Structure 1
């Protein structure tokens, strides 16, 4: 494949300029940044001079300087308490019987004092209506999922409709198995299917991975290089036992799919499946809190097999992204460019004026499904919707990328040169993102899909 054997991942090579610094570095570090040079005239030239565009992920970085923030908050709170006590003294609020008789019941005075002074113990708690409403909505949502999943056979269309807005964490593993088509909707067949498919996967391990004949050393070598780059800031994915599981999944998939073979970036796509199925056996903790030694071997085997089969189902729908010259990605990048002409002409013209090619940043977005642009938990939330949309990982992903690019429009327009725009696009500050930001992107993506998916002429008219 074109993007193998990269010496320095995460960089655009000399045809586009010097290497950009790793994530989190800037010009102030003294590291050279990409400078506009000559551009590749076609995709062949691009693939010859482009590395795999790997960087440290944004999702595991933490905000810096929190100590100063906490100190400021503490001082502000202390000053507020002092001022509130002054107000209470001026207004004469007291819990004495005399004042209670003159000014109303003691309950009313207690509430009045609490309005002025947050330090006063709250004898009569006031419910947080926003939190209460959220909990009620989550409870209703959970009940709806449980009702659908209790049916036999399970109505997959009802399940898809519910999953669009996100899946409750405890029901995500079974929902993903159903949505990918790995798990049958008939409950009488589910246990037998899982046992058979898991056994079949480990027969592949014995025959293909552990076999001594026809072992593809080139493919295995590239996989070995890429595995440590998979979520490098999450300790779990740096453990040898987990990396071996990923090696087996990727090698077996590549040997069974010779039309494409292994392509850099596919390693990222194992992570959401692996994390979701892992949550079933680790008490739904985040992967940072997991001690792999606590897990049983039989659980790890099931997770590995399920991740393999679900990855296979996913890649079957976007196979042209990974065949020779990756035509699926090329067409999607071109479609993104046409779409941006219509929905944000100002940003599109800004990129054109600075000679920033969409291929320089959007190739990775399409190749890795934004896995390297947003936190892992955001990717998992995004995949809830992708699996509920028809051709979600291919067609709907285009509109998500358009909404994602438009989200940064103002900041990108403020960058005045090629170098600034490209560095911004390669280091977007999404490490703090949660479901709210993803829901906003998804809402706009759905709006774009409704406007353009069934009306391709909209992309052609007035697109100059």
Structure 2
């Protein structure tokens, strides 16, 4: 969106038509409320950016189908301009006409018609340029079908609109529905506005509506409508004095028959604007972040950058985008309904005053008449920014222009307020509601994303702190490495030809996150369908599985107006975290994934693992929806956003840690319950603290050996140096790398058959990980006191002879033959005291060949439990 500058934020409200509560659609589901339909269509209006159109910002849905629309606003209108200026020069008339036509023509390119043009809706900015307001009302209400009031003003409506009468669209009692208005409708309305401007008076204002309509209809028999209107209103002399090009323009606009009336695009190239069009440069649509065009082709830098922050009285906030200002206004305590209530636009009535109207047999009526509040009140209320500016008054000017390469530009050092630097340590939900903090983060991410992909590493660095909700969609795309002309690729995919999957998609969409107003709208369903179908068509080797719609939901919600980006993010996300999950036969992939997850539970919580295995509550019963949808089927969207902010920083093994963290939150209840109770518990999952889950997931991720989560069905290795392999930076140790991305050596772990993998309770690690673990232990001793215990205990279960020939320094020898009988039963628990002293630490079991891995895994796990060491984790390392 463009900067706020001299504009203001305005809000207006109206009601959508109420639907009967006892009527269902053809699919048996309740009808979608009209307010939801309007909310879905409105989203497209936020993308319509043009210098001659007031930018739409947001829409909110209230009680009783009330909608409040936030838009760019200016106090001055064409009506005020007429009052201030007695006579308007012909040159000024042509300029206003040309600017209005530019806005109308741009709307028409996007399939929209204004239909509500009047002097109040043609605003003027600080430079006197035209800004068309409320241009989206006709579009968002589906040509007036979703509201109980007509769209447009009788004095300005074109004859063909008046000829249709007051038939409400989609009214079955009225026969065929009226055709929606076309671009030529606005040309007539503009002609009336220009005539009023030239004549210096308003047309048909003091005449009854019925008389106005009759008069306009009679104009169809007249050749020169302009002359007749001038005679009717006593301004013939003023009209005759106009230059010929202005008169020609008026006559073309006020052509009675639509077939002869020009469109806005045709008028813009008409010779009447020959001396005006050269004053205006053609509008160029800003280049998006993901395209093949140069984003900085027309970039101009000031000669002295230091001058940007020199003026202490400069309005820095005005240089931020309109949607940013509105977002900050809401964080600073802005309340739309409160603003409208203070201006008496919203008026509450006691229930006794809202009783329905009813008639007695003698014709006497009682109760309320038609509530006028449900009709359109086109008053736009200006939202005051004083409270927001007071909140941001202590933010220094330098904060609006952060230096990305300066070491002193980090948040904790560059802010003038010490309180702001402490905000980083607060919980995420508080940070997201802090006005000053969000301003700093939004500005920083905005600059980094504009430099994407060249500042990709800095985007990763800042994302580790947090991601501003306002920029989350683009930030996720950057973390997923989306690049190139995504729109062209998306457009090249056939999303219209029927395919067998269409039926399943149609069934799944109405059940996917339908509590959300945006995704439950018809526009949301349509976009869902297109993005999912594009993915299915473009991945012929994969199939549609139930759960794919849930995966799509977060990306579609964040990029509702950019289907191509939602598709691109989804296409990058699935190979990274769900590689081959959507094969036609994915059983081997799922089973390996669940087995590794089960081993992760055993590694981090042996007691819980043993209990779940004893009662038969295996991950197959509850974890498939978790991982197949990456928890989107489990949590609502607002929790998924916080969860995925961190998930995207990790590699393909990070979901294991999230799953273990969820189980640890439910640990006490799981340990106290049996199989049936656990099934009931997961059928209606209790409330999960997502911030705690994220925090514990990171801790688990950082202290899990990378080879412990090795899967042979994971995504093949990528090129080294990818930022995604080090998502948590310096806060994590070497474990944060993805084992699949590491170069294979003689010390690397080899894949196992699924049957062998299932036979092992605890995970294996590679020799590389064992060496690193030992180095960490030594390093820990040197940094701490000499009495500090090492982080791991290496248990060597080879024979005494093999142990004597060579072993890991500090390891203890517990030969397998002394601990177990030949049939695999535990005989004794040697070295009990040593194992007890390693309570809460990692135990690495070193054995001979891989064929004995299952038995050694049983040894290590059984020993841990039999010796009452409840916090150990055991690893099986093949010698």
1:331 corresponds to which residue?
Answer: 592
1:173 corresponds to which residue?
Answer: 473
- Structure with the largest fraction of helix: 1
Measure, in 2, the Cα distance between the counterparts of 1:261 and 1:151.
36
Which gives a bigger RCO, structure 1 or 2 (Cα 8 Å, sep 6+)? 1
1:156 corresponds to which residue?
Answer: 456
> What's the secondary structure of 1:198's corresponding residue?
helix
1:387 CA drift (Å):
2.0
Measure, in 1, the Cα distance between the counterparts of 2:537 and 2:453.
35
> What's the secondary structure of 1:319's corresponding residue?
coil
Measure, in 2, the Cα distance between the counterparts of 1:406 and 1:253.
35
Measure, in 1, the Cα distance between the counterparts of 2:495 and 2:451.
39
1:31 corresponds to which residue?
Answer: none
1:452 aligns with 2:704: yes
1:425 corresponds to which residue?
Answer: 682
Q: 1:387-427: CA deviations, max 9, x gaps?
A: 222x2xx2111111111111110122222x31110111231
2:632 corresponds to which residue?
Answer: 371
1:414 aligns with 2:672: yes
Measure, in 1, the Cα distance between the counterparts of 2:700 and 2:505.
37
- Which of 251, 261, 264 is the equivalent residue of 2:546? 264
User: Cα gap change, 1:163/1:429 in structure 2, threshold over 3 Å: closer, same or farther?
Assistant: same
> What's the secondary structure of 1:320's corresponding residue?
coil
Measure, in 1, the Cα distance between the counterparts of 2:619 and 2:605.
14
1:381 CA drift (Å):
1.6
1:95 corresponds to which residue?
Answer: none
Structure-to-structure mapping, 1:301-380, within 5 angstroms = 303-317=562-576, 318-323=578-583, 324-380=585-641
> What's the secondary structure of 1:250's corresponding residue?
helix
Measure, in 2, the Cα distance between the counterparts of 1:222 and 1:242.
17
Measure, in 1, the Cα distance between the counterparts of 2:543 and 2:707.
35
1:403 aligns with 2:656: no
Q: Could you tell me whether the CA contact under 8 Å between 1:148 and 1:158 is conserved in 2?
A: yes
Q: Could you tell me whether the CA contact under 8 Å between 1:160 and 1:387 is conserved in 2?
A: no
Q: Could you tell me whether the CA contact under 8 Å between 1:255 and 1:261 is conserved in 2?
A: no
Q: Could you tell me whether the CA contact under 8 Å between 1:165 and 1:384 is conserved in 2?
A: no
Measure, in 2, the Cα distance between the counterparts of 1:327 and 1:383.
26
1:231 corresponds to which residue?
Answer: 513
Measure, in 1, the Cα distance between the counterparts of 2:518 and 2:529.
15
1:327 CA drift (Å):
3.3
1:246 aligns with 2:528: yes
User: Cα gap change, 1:163/1:222 in structure 2, threshold over 3 Å: closer, same or farther?
Assistant: same
User: Cα gap change, 1:228/1:183 in structure 2, threshold over 3 Å: closer, same or farther?
Assistant: same
1:164 CA drift (Å):
2.6
Structure-to-structure mapping, 1:124-203, within 5 angstroms = 133=423, 134=431, 135=434, 138=438, 140-142=440-442, 144-149=444-449, 151=451, 154-183=454-483, 193=485, 197-203=486-492
Q: Which has the larger radius of gyration?
A: 2
Q: 1:203-224: CA deviations, max 9, x gaps?
A: 42xxx3323xxx422x111111
Q: Could you tell me whether the CA contact under 8 Å between 2:460 and 2:649 is conserved in 1?
A: yes
Measure, in 1, the Cα distance between the counterparts of 2:582 and 2:557.
23
Q: Which runs of 5+ in 2 are unaligned?
A: 1-418, 424-430, 709-748, 750-761, 765-844, 846-859, 863-879
- Which of 499, 510, 528 is the equivalent residue of 1:216? 499
User: Cα gap change, 1:139/1:252 in structure 2, threshold over 3 Å: closer, same or farther?
Assistant: closer
User: Cα gap change, 1:131/1:388 in structure 2, threshold over 3 Å: closer, same or farther?
Assistant: closer
Measure, in 2, the Cα distance between the counterparts of 1:138 and 1:244.
33
Measure, in 2, the Cα distance between the counterparts of 1:181 and 1:366.
22
User: Cα gap change, 1:165/1:453 in structure 2, threshold over 3 Å: closer, same or farther?
Assistant: farther
Measure, in 2, the Cα distance between the counterparts of 1:130 and 1:178.
26
User: Cα gap change, 1:454/1:200 in structure 2, threshold over 3 Å: closer, same or farther?
Assistant: closer
Normalised by the size of structure 2, how large is the TM-score? 0.31
User: Cα gap change, 1:442/1:251 in structure 2, threshold over 3 Å: closer, same or farther?
Assistant: same
- Which of 558, 566, 572 is the equivalent residue of 1:276? 558
Q: Could you tell me whether the CA contact under 8 Å between 2:547 and 2:628 is conserved in 1?
A: yes
Q: Tell me the number of residue pairs that the alignment of Structure 1 and Structure 2 aligns.
A: 286
- Structure with the largest fraction of strand: 2
> What's the secondary structure of 2:703's corresponding residue?
helix
Q: Could you tell me whether the CA contact under 8 Å between 2:657 and 2:700 is conserved in 1?
A: yes
Measure, in 2, the Cα distance between the counterparts of 1:404 and 1:174.
28
Measure, in 2, the Cα distance between the counterparts of 1:141 and 1:248.
33
Measure, in 2, the Cα distance between the counterparts of 1:402 and 1:216.
39
Measure, in 2, the Cα distance between the counterparts of 1:448 and 1:201.
38
Measure, in 2, the Cα distance between the counterparts of 1:329 and 1:166.
31
User: Cα gap change, 1:326/1:250 in structure 2, threshold over 3 Å: closer, same or farther?
Assistant: farther
Measure, in 2, the Cα distance between the counterparts of 1:343 and 1:152.
38
Measure, in 1, the Cα distance between the counterparts of 2:681 and 2:617.
12
Q: Could you tell me whether the CA contact under 8 Å between 1:251 and 1:262 is conserved in 2?
A: no
Normalised by the size of structure 1, how large is the TM-score? 0.56
CA RMSD of aligned residues (A): 2.6
Measure, in 2, the Cα distance between the counterparts of 1:307 and 1:253.
10
